[in-house]
Amino acid sequence: MRTYTVDVLVVGGGAAGMAAAAAAAREGARTVLLERGERLGGVLEQCIHPGFGLHRYREELTGPEFAHRMRQELNDSGAEVLTGATVLEILPDGPAVKVVSPKGLKKFRPRAVVWAVGARERPFGALRIPGTRPSGVFTAGLAQRLLDLEGLLPGRRAVILGSGDIGLIMARRLHLEGVEVRAVLEIQPFPGGLTRNVVQCLRDFGIPLLLSHTVAEVHGRERLEGITAVRVDEHRHPIPGTERRIEADTLILSVGLIPEVRLIEDTVPLDPVNRGPRVNGRLQTEVPWLFAAGNCVAVFDLVDTVAELGERAGASAARYARGDLPSGKPVPLVRGENVVSLVPSCLDGTAESARMYLRVPRPMEGVTVDVGGVVRRRVPVARPAEMIEIPLDGDALSELSQKERIVVEVKPK
Amino acid sequence: MRIAVIGAGAVGSLIARELCRYEAEVVLFERAPDVGWGVTKANSGIVHAGFHDEPGTTRARFCAAGNALYPELATDLEIPFRRTGAYVLAFTTEELSVLEELREWGEVNGVPGLELHRREEILAREPRVNPEVRAGLWSPTVGITLPWEIAIAAVENALDNGLELHLGEPVVGIEVSGGRVRAVRTDKGRYPVEAVVNAAGLFADHIAQMAGLEGPALHPRRGEYVLLDETTGGLVNVVLFPAPTQVSKGILVLPTVDGGLLLGPNAHDLPPDAREATETTREGLEEVIEGAVHLVPDLPLHKTVKTFAGLRPESPQKDFVLGETRVAGFYQAAAMRSPGLTAAPAIARWLAHEIALAHGLEERTDFRPVRKRIPHPADLPEAEWEALIRKDPRWGRIVCFCNRVTEGEIVEAIRRGARTLDGVKFRTRAGFGRCQGGFCTDRILEILARELGAEPWEVTARGGASRIVLGEARP
């Protein structure tokens, strides 16, 4: 097995990984990017709808267009790329990274690693929905790949469970391909995705959105024949007597993304709510040589944010590799009331600036985000679907870093 | 002479393989498109020790004997088998007396190594067990395996020894005249035979009726399961049973050979005509979780990757129906309820021998008992993996990221007979991991279509109407 010494090894060729590798290479680090698929771009490649790049490129792009620009930036940066390369093991001692590809086994000895592998979809089985186990049940991402990358039709009559953005976008995509989308079911009393997607993907096409509803049972021995929809109470328990059968040959699930941490979960501490590694403002995990960015840290709304985090992680990793990444005493960020996702997990006073991202558990109006009593920001409308972004400048950071802990909370009006 | 075996589950497949040791033409009929898709597919995968079965029953006769054959079977067929050991846990005074009784049964049945352990000993070995436990019966010979892999491996090995396999071909009639079996009729043709082995699982009563026999009267008993992902297996390292009831062995918590945890099964008797009722129910899954949490309180249920239900054949006698019948040449391996999987190797060996004696069959000198599994390079030494890749780069292309299954393995599974997504899954474990096929279903579909020379919309999950995609988006 050949061994290669590099400065920065980036795992994952989606938006976060491409941005990280480009940034690391621009910092002068000898950088290699590993992608397990055949081509770079990650989930962007299958997102053929527009709506990407408004922040990063100040124009509206499709997913593949966004990916194309990032590939060019990566190409210009001088980072090396290996596709079809799956990481088998990350040995903390060294560190060393074992990789397999159709060309054989390789071992890398990097000074720093950026974990940028994205998230996986929560599978049907995780929901413990009763009934049969027919074909025709897809996670939204799988249905999207089949439809948009392979040109294959998952079904003809579909029900969508979950109104996250991917579910909403798939409702529109299927409708445009002639699939009858019978309904989108959402277990919460509010939509899971962005308002613009509810309007542009469902309302504009007359697709019904059933809030406080879930699938009580699936039917069909071989191929899906239908589902039983049921209304749920405020504890998400099915209300007896509200069941109704909806005939469909396809059930699409958009029921949550889970940051992918396999291969690092025994090495680094994870945040129990984000379900990704705990990182500081520089996207450095609690294992100093390991950095992480994008949806494997926490699930973000916008690829623009993911790319920006990737850049920061890549630049930090490059600085770490050449031994000039400063480190101060980490001060943990602690969730106060009404905070679900929260990135980063700690701050130190050595950064010039940082950004904080958080999510609220339910729609709220006229709230104030309070960061350790130092930074306060009014947010007129806070929704679970939209991450709140709080920039922290050098002054705020130096004041916050004097504390033992920083409580982050969202105070109602 | 020609012998038909009906049913390619674990029992029928092992019987067919044992019959191949003799000078006979063996034909195996299976109604499903692949082997091991009936009772075998949704099974706990436990190799029982033999203390659960009342002495004197046929179950007791074959359980410990089957268990003792597993190491050899696992070596010959390269199937996963691990003796984890098991505890039967007692929480009440009544349950303590059940443990005593099980130990006595075990001793009569020839089960080695049974010991009663106190609470402290149990918690020291398995710290996640409910601390309210009072005592446990320790049984070191209990093991875990992959039931469908037994059927797949036994059939592959039997094919290597001359078996004729008919998949997707249901038996519709059995010709008997002069008190002897004469032929088997399927939806495709008539096959003259001198002997028939009825290993038709849930449908063994229907097959027996075709031969003019009455019993056994079968009804399905449904068991539901919850599977936790491959990071949870280390939480519990042995099979945990509650104290059994009159009805069943109870809801268990056990490690799987893939490194996950399996919870279940419950046991619900269904009407005799509900033989396809493999759906799970809300109440059933709740019951399974409640039962499992009683044994291990802090189970990471958020790591659930799958729920499923299996049916097993139950009869009023609650015992296997084995051996010859009043129709000469018609043999039963029926009513194979638990511990059928454990007993199967011993039953197969015994029944093949009985048939050979009755029909004067000689043992073959050229029987090859060894079957090689599909290589799983992620488990091989690096040099061997590299050698595979040098021969064919597809052994270096990972398709299922969760279980690290390469394209090489999938192509080999198809070469060995996989025709469906499930056929690939059961042979390679691609799609069985945490993401449950979310990342690899499209890639496996593409490989299946390519290798079979089919269109993607002709490929099914498990035969019949279970197509995965229905056509081109914009033809």
**pLDDT of B40 higher than 90:** yes
Using a CB–CB cutoff of 8 Å, tell me whether A176 touches chain B.
no
Residue A70 burial (10 A CB sphere; 0-12, 13-18, 19+): buried
Provide the CB-side half-sphere exposure for A347 (13 A, CA): 32
A232, A255, A278 — which closes off a domain? A255
CB contact under 8 A, B467 and A141: no
Q: Which of B411, B466, B407, B402 is nearest to B438 (CA)?
A: B402
CB contact under 8 A, B278 and A132: yes
Residues 6+ apart with CB under 8 A from A198: A163, A168, A191, A209
pLDDT classification of B458: cutoffs 50, 70, 90: very high
Please give the C-alpha separations between residue A283 and each of A286, A292, B271, in angstroms, as whole numbers. 10, 6, 59
Q: Do A87 and A172 share a structural domain?
A: no
Using a CB–CB cutoff of 8 Å, tell me whether A86 touches chain B.
yes
pLDDT value, residue A44: 97
pLDDT value, residue B445: 98
CB contact under 8 A, A123 and B390: no
Using a CB–CB cutoff of 8 Å, tell me whether B392 touches chain A.
no
Q: Do A127 and A251 share a structural domain?
A: yes
Which of the pair, A8 or B432, is modelled with greater confidence?
A8
Using a CB–CB cutoff of 8 Å, tell me whether B441 touches chain A.
yes
CB contact under 8 A, B396 and A126: no
Chain B residues 445-474 within an 8 A CB cutoff of chain A: 445-446, 456-457, 460-474
Using a CB–CB cutoff of 8 Å, tell me whether A155 touches chain B.
yes
Q: Do A80 and A7 share a structural domain?
A: yes
Instruction: Please tell me what DSSP assigns to residue B124.
Output: H
Rounded CA-CA distance B471/A76 in Å is 40
pLDDT classification of B269: cutoffs 50, 70, 90: very high
pLDDT value, residue B246: 81
pLDDT value, residue A349: 81
pLDDT in tens, A197-252: 999 999 999 999 999 999 999 999 999 999 999 999 999 999 999 999 999 999 99
Using a CB–CB cutoff of 8 Å, tell me whether B260 touches chain A.
no
ipTM: 0.96
B320, B335 Cβ separation under 8 angstroms: yes
Please give the C-alpha separations between residue A394 and each of A19, A282, A357, B57, B430, in angstroms, as whole numbers. 24, 14, 17, 79, 49
pLDDT classification of A182: cutoffs 50, 70, 90: very high
Instruction: Please tell me what DSSP assigns to residue B373.
Output: P
Q: Do A195 and A168 share a structural domain?
A: yes
List domains and CATH numbers for chain B.
Answer: 1-80+144-218+315-373 (3.50.50.60), 86-140+221-310 (3.30.9.10), 377-458 (1.10.10.1100)
B307 vs A contacts (CB less than 8 Å): 125, 128-130
Rounded CA-CA distance A192/A169 in Å is 12
pLDDT value, residue A94: 87
Q: Which of B217, B292, B220, B283 is nearest to B252 (CA)?
A: B292
CB contact under 8 A, A84 and B389: no
Chain B residues 66-95 within an 8 A CB cutoff of chain A: none
pLDDT in tens, A105-159: 999 999 999 999 999 999 999 999 999 999 999 999 999 999 999 999 999 999 9
pLDDT in tens, A32-87: 999 999 999 999 999 999 999 999 999 999 999 999 999 999 999 999 999 999 99
pLDDT value, residue B419: 97
Q: Do A68 and A138 share a structural domain?
A: no
pLDDT in tens, A293-341: 999 999 999 999 999 999 999 999 999 999 999 988 999 999 999 999 9
**pLDDT of B475 higher than 80:** no
A70, A55 Cβ separation under 8 angstroms: no
Note the pTM of the prediction, 2 decimals: 0.96
Q: What is the DSSP string of A388-405?
A: EEEEE-HHHHHHHTTSS-
Structure tokens at A248: 């469909």
Using a CB–CB cutoff of 8 Å, tell me whether A37 touches chain B.
no
* CATH code of the domain containing A19: 3.50.50.60
Please give the C-alpha separations between residue B278 and each of A133, A270, A353, B269, B406, in angstroms, as whole numbers. 8, 38, 57, 12, 31
Q: Do A277 and A167 share a structural domain?
A: no
pLDDT in tens, A355-401: 999 999 999 999 999 999 999 999 999 999 999 999 999 999 999 99
Element (H, E) at A252: strand A250-253
Helix (H, G, I), strand (E, B) or coil at B378: helix
CB contact under 8 A, B396 and A101: yes
A134 vs B contacts (CB less than 8 Å): 461, 466
For residue A185, the enclosing domain spans: 123-255
Q: Do A73 and A159 share a structural domain?
A: no
A299, A306 Cβ separation under 8 angstroms: no
Residue A413 burial (10 A CB sphere; 0-12, 13-18, 19+): exposed
A281, A344 Cβ separation under 8 angstroms: yes
Q: Do A3 and A116 share a structural domain?
A: yes
CB contact under 8 A, B278 and A133: yes
Rounded CA-CA distance B33/B318 in Å is 29
**pLDDT of B214 higher than 90:** no
Q: At what angle do helices B340-359 and B147-160 cross, to 10 degrees?
A: 30
- Angle, CA A233 vertex, CA A228 and CA A234 arms, to 5°: 140
A224, A255, A286 — which closes off a domain? A255
Q: Which of B18, B97, B106 is nearest to B59 (CA)?
A: B106
A105 vs chain B: nearest CA distance in angstroms?
7
Q: Do A342 and A372 share a structural domain?
A: yes
Q: Do A319 and A334 share a structural domain?
A: no
Q: What are phi and psi of B61, to 5 degrees?
A: -65, -35
How many domains does chain A fold into?
3
β-pairing, B219-228 with B268-269?
A: antiparallel
Rounded CA-CA distance A181/B472 in Å is 18
Q: Residue B188 CB: number of other CB atoms within 10 A?
A: 12
Q: Do A180 and A61 share a structural domain?
A: no
Catalytic annotation, residues of B: 48
Instruction: Please tell me what DSSP assigns to residue A145.
Output: I
Instruction: Indicate which of B231, B469, B474 best probes the interface with A, i.e. most A CBs within 10 Å of its own CB.
Output: B469
Provide the CB-side half-sphere exposure for B50 (13 A, CA): 27
pLDDT value, residue B48: 98
Q: Do A195 and A82 share a structural domain?
A: no
Using a CB–CB cutoff of 8 Å, tell me whether B444 touches chain A.
no
pLDDT in tens, B296-352: 999 999 999 999 999 999 999 999 999 999 999 999 999 999 999 999 999 999 999
pLDDT value, residue B248: 85
pLDDT in tens, A168-178: 999 999 999 99
Over residues B128-137, the mean pLDDT reads 98
Instruction: Please tell me what DSSP assigns to residue A223.
Output: B
pLDDT classification of A28: cutoffs 50, 70, 90: very high
Looking at the DSSP bridge assignments, the partners of residue A86 are A100
CB contact under 8 A, B473 and A141: no
Over residues B413-439, the mean pLDDT reads 95
Nearest to B305 among A102, A125, A153 (CB): A125
Find where tokens 């021998």 sit.
B353
pLDDT value, residue B245: 85
